[in-house]
Amino acid sequence: MADELRIAITGVGAVSGLGTGIEPIIEALRAGHEPPGDLLEADYAPEEFRESPKTYMDPACEHALAACWLAVRSAGLGWEGAAHSGFDSERMGASIGTAFGPLDSMLNMTGRVQQKGMRFGSPMIFTHTFINAPAALIAIEYDLQGPNMTHSLGDASGAAAIAYALTMMRAGRADLMLVGGCEALSDPLLAAVDETTDGLEARPTNGLLRTTHDLLGEGAAILVLETAAHAAARGAEPLAELTGAAMLAPCRGDAGERAVIAAGSDCARVIDAASACGHTFGASVALSAACCAALVAEAEEPLAAVSRDGSGAVVMERWRA
């Protein structure tokens, strides 16, 4: 592939029920045992992972911003405090997937509206109820004035976000993008999952709430994508090359195959972070992709992250200079 079309992964950041960073997830994957229990909540101090103080933040957005904080440091971007002289803000963007978005804030807002009346909605909370809030807050936090997109296709949301960024960057629309997914284990989500898990196998659709893992988790993962030229110009050492992605209509189960073909590979080994940090809905493919990026240097074959329903997938390889 021509060099200008090669997209490098130069950093990863993650928060999950196993803590902050990708390392605890990799350790758990290597150990090969699922954590006990049925809920794995992300327990960390979100205010320590922000470039600027915030008055209010939904947990889904907290996870996304914390993963970004870790990812920009992992990539050696030197953006501490979000100052990034020498970078072209107009050529940088974000693409984020989430199945449900800021549900805690939505419940807060709708609770006020239904119990007190439409006059009593909170303007501040309302602006945090939009499903594009995580991506918009990332853009503001890191002054990313280029492409900015939010994707919501259930468990495949993270794959959709990464596939979109790959298309935009190969089209020359951005040099650097923060991409991935986030999800929070909010009360309204947990209530719905509890109510529907029984008997969902019989559903004809791909079942937005169906769980094949007993363990539910939350968190976010962000990958720093850069064009090969941009990474080289700043002397960054890529972790991996993002070689292919596919996001297909729901119920199509062959995105993994499509992504491998798009990547020009023969096969790929699937890495699933869910066996370490639980099923994380819209964050799941991004967390698996972050694990792929961390593991691919020692892998012989390409690695893939695939959504549970098989409709979205990304493939990456070891970086070859």
Partner 1 sequence: MKRRAVITGMGVVSSLGRDLNAFWQGLIEGRSGIAPLDRFDPEGLRNINAGQVREFSFEPAAFGLADAPDIATQFLLMAAREALIRAAIAPSEERDPGFGASFATNFGGANSWERYVAGLLVGEVPAAAFEEFAFGRAAEHTCAAFGIGGPCALLSVACASGGAALGVACDMIRLGEAQVALAVGYDALAPTPLSGLSVLRTMTDEMIRPFSADRSGTLFGEGAGALVIEDLEHARERGARPLAEVLGWAENNNAYHVTAPDQGGAGMTRVLRDAIADANIDPRTVDYVNAHGTGTQPHDPAEVQAVKNVLGERAREIPMSSIKAATGHMMGAAGAAEAIATVMAVNEGIVPPTVNYREPDPECDLDHVPNVAREATVGRAISISAGIGGNNSCVVLGALD
Neighbouring residues of 249: CB distance < 8 A, sequence distance ≥ 6: 311
By C-beta, is 132 or 265 nearer to partner 1? 132
Near partner 1 by CB under 8 A: residue from 36, 53, 86, 117:
117
Near partner 1 by CB under 8 A: residue from 34, 35, 76, 113:
113
State the nearest-atom distance from the C-beta of 186 to partner 1, in Å: 11
State the nearest-atom distance from the C-beta of 297 to partner 1, in Å: 30
State the nearest-atom distance from the C-beta of 56 to partner 1, in Å: 11
How many residues contact partner 1, by CB under 8 A? Answer: 74
By C-beta, is 49 or 142 nearer to partner 1? 142
Q: Give residue 220's identity as a one-letter amino acid code.
A: A
Establish if 77 lies at the interface with partner 1 (CB under 8 A). Answer: no
Contact 313, 256 (CB under 8 A): yes
State the nearest-atom distance from the C-beta of 191 to partner 1, in Å: 5
Residues 176-215 that bind partner 1 (CB under 8 A): 188-189, 191-192, 194-196, 205-206, 208-209
Residues 223-252 that bind partner 1 (CB under 8 A): 246-252
By C-beta, is 76 or 250 nearer to partner 1? 250
Q: Give residue 17's identity as a one-letter amino acid code.
A: G
State the nearest-atom distance from the C-beta of 117 to partner 1, in Å: 4
Contact 297, 321 (CB under 8 A): no
Near partner 1 by CB under 8 A: residue from 5, 31, 171, 297:
171
By C-beta, is 22 or 60 nearer to partner 1? 60
Burial class (CB in 10 A: 0-12, 13-18, 19+), 173: middle
Neighbouring residues of 153: CB distance < 8 A, sequence distance ≥ 6: 97, 99, 160, 247, 250, 311, 312
Q: Give residue 311's identity as a one-letter amino acid code.
A: S
Near partner 1 by CB under 8 A: residue from 80, 111, 264, 270:
111
State the nearest-atom distance from the C-beta of 174 to partner 1, in Å: 9
Tell me which DSSP letter residue 34 carries.
Answer: P
Burial class (CB in 10 A: 0-12, 13-18, 19+), 257: middle
By C-beta, is 137 or 228 nearer to partner 1? 137
Give the integer Cα–Cα distance in Å for 267 and 286: 20
Give the integer Cα–Cα distance in Å for 292 and 4: 23
Establish if 110 lies at the interface with partner 1 (CB under 8 A). Answer: yes
Near partner 1 by CB under 8 A: residue from 118, 201, 298, 321:
118
Residues 123-162 that bind partner 1 (CB under 8 A): 123, 126-127, 129-133, 135-137, 139-140, 142-154, 156-157, 160
CA angle 276, 278, 279 (to 5 degrees): 130
Contact 259, 315 (CB under 8 A): yes
Give the integer Cα–Cα distance in Å for 173 and 225: 13
Listed in sequence order, the DSSP H helices in 75-132 are 103-116, 123-127
